[in-house]
Amino acid sequence: IWWPQLANNISWFIKSCHLCQIHQTCSVLIPPTVAIPAPLFAKMYMDMMHMPPSGDFKYIV
């Protein structure tokens, strides 16, 4: 069967059908976000452990 206006008729039916409107999924496109990396050495962390003196050494870094 040839139906030249099939796409238009289906679109009209979906727009006018109450149940179709209730069950319609919303397709909102959220633009992707790009994380901007911090510049090198903007933050620096150091772990230190105080140890009992052994010779001239007393820290582990």
Domain of residue 32, residue span: 6-60
- Which two structure tokens, joined as six digits, stand for 45? 């962390």
* The pLDDT value given to residue 1: 76
Asked whether the whole model's pTM tops 0.85, one would answer: no
Is 34 a member of any domain? Answer: yes
Would residue 24 count as lying in a domain?
yes
d(CA 61, CA 48): 5
Q: Looking at the domain assignment, is residue 49 inside a domain?
A: yes
One-letter amino acid of 46: M
Number of domains in the chain: 1
Per-residue pLDDT reduced to its tens digit, 2-61: 888 999 998 888 888 888 778 777 777 778 888 887 788 777 787 777 777 777 776 666
